[in-house]
Structure 1
């Protein structure tokens, strides 16, 4: 496998992890436009632990995710008092503030960036991404997704039914932030260099688009959306200057025809039913 193909697979894995970091809060009705802020925390925290404290790389990656999750818990209560567009604006502002802090923090290089001394292989990044997808898939088979859906659809009714709406919202934001932090730490140790400017508003916007394109109704939606956004522009590379215009036109037409996203709950159920019927026929 060439270096270009390996880099593309790693980019897909990182985009997938980030997409699931957005998917979990979105499943509970939270549009998180500050996901890049949690990724930058994971990146710098993990890199600092390996550079300055000599931590093993996987432990540092986990700690990076933990640092992002801790921040999410700390700020969840005031942020989740807002709803709708105001919640999106609050998370957007949070992401910008976090990136600005690291941009001016000299202990980790400030605007000059921060070199990372420990390198991880592409197989590690892909393996962690696969574990994240599998874990989210397992979570989707539990009552957690029902609680998230109830809070998303009608928080008042969910509260009347006895659900702790506040705790569920905090859990969704925290889990998403932790996953995003892990993705940021993996990014730092694979590319061996961090710039706070990379973790800006465009990264958050693209990550949200992964989920919207793939579909929020199915647990596989973020994976599909990340794959389309990562691989399709490369497939259009032969179009040179027109590839981004063609890709943008594709997204506009697709969302106009299928605003619910590519993967929906009904589609997943039909595929599962077909698989069961095929298995019965084979028997």
Structure 2
């Protein structure tokens, strides 16, 4: 495998993990624009534990991921009292605050960044992304996925059915933060360097776009969206300086035609209907 292809696939792996971190709270009707902040917690947590305490990667990554999830759990209760655009603004501010803390924290390099000694190779990153996808597929077949759908569709009805709406929302928010921390930890370990400037609002916005473009109705949507946003610009390299203009134009046209995203529930239902008709 060439170095170029390996680099593209590594970026794809990180984008897939980040997309599912956004997808979990979005499946419960929550728009999290602070996902980059939780990635920063995972990145700096894994970097600090491996550098200062000599922890192995196998020990540092779960702890850093759990730390991001714990922050999401603690912050989720007050933040999720807001809804809609106010929730988006609150999570946006949260991400900025987390990044600012690490930017001014001298123990992890501050604005100069933080160099790591431990290293996670490309195939380790690939395995991490595949693991996240498999976990998401498993969750999509559990009762928790039904709770997420019910809470997103109609919180009042879900509450009348005995579902703890706030509990489900906070759980989805915290799990998304944990997945983001997981991806951030491997990001730091793969590139051997982490800086707070990388975990900015654009990272959060682009990650949300992966899910919106791929479709938030099914568990396959984030994967499709991440693949498109990662691979399409590379496929359009023949356009040279026009490739991003072509890419943006395609997105505008596509979203005008399919505002619900690339992969939807009705699409899967259509496939199942045609397969049933074709079977004897």
Quick check: TM above 0.5?
Answer: yes
Deviation digits for residues 165-203 of structure 1, max 9, x if unmatched?
111011000110000000000100001101110110000
**Number of matched pairs:** 280
The more displaced of 147-156 and 79-88 is 147-156
Residue 173 of structure 2 is matched in structure 1 by 173
| Alignment match, 1:132 | 132
Cα distance in 1 between the residues matched to 2:81 and 2:176: 18
Give the alignment's TM-score, normalised by structure 2.
Answer: 0.97
Equivalent in the alignment of 1:102: 102
Query: Residue 41 of structure 1 aligns with which residue?
Result: 41
Q: Once structures 1 and 2 are overlaid, which stretch shifts more, 212-221 or 58-67?
A: 58-67
Corresponding residue for residue 31 of structure 1: 31
Q: Deviations over 1:180-237 (max 9, x none)?
A: 0000001000011011101100000000000000000110000000000000011112
2:252 corresponds to: 252
2:65 is aligned to 65
Asked if residue 79 in structure 1 is aligned to residue 66 in structure 2, the reply is no
* Separation in structure 2 between the aligned mates of residue 149 and residue 117 of structure 1, nearest angstrom: 43
Partner of 2:149: 149
How big is the shift at 1:270? Answer: 3.0
TM, length-normalised to structure 1? 0.96
**Which consecutive residues of structure 2, in runs of 5 or more, have no partner in the other structure?**
none
Q: Deviations over 1:44-67 (max 9, x none)?
A: 001111111111112211111101
CA distance in structure 2 between the aligned counterparts of 1:162 and 1:204, rounded to whole angstroms: 33
**Alignment partner, residue 9 of structure 1:** 9
In 1, Cα distance between equivalents of 2:190 and 2:275: 38
Residue of structure 2 equivalent to 1:193: 193
Partners of 2:116 and 2:189 lie apart in 1 by 6
Cα distance, 1:99 vs structure 2: 0.4
List per-residue Cα deviations over 1:153-172 (Å, max 9, x = no partner).
11111111111011101100
What's the CA shift string for 1:27-58, capped at 9, x where partnerless? 00000000000000000001111111111112
Quote the offset at 1:69 in angstroms. Answer: 0.2
Give every structure 1 segment of 4 or more consecutive aligned residues whose post-TM-superposition deviation is greater than 6 Å: none
Q: What aligned pairs does 1:83-94 form with structure 2 within 5 A after superposition?
A: 83-94=83-94
**Separation of aligned partners in 2, 1:77 and 1:125:** 32
Q: Secondary structure of 2:249's partner?
A: helix
Moved more, 153-162 or 109-118: 153-162
RMSD: 1.2
Distance in 2, Cα, partners of 1:151 & 1:277:
34
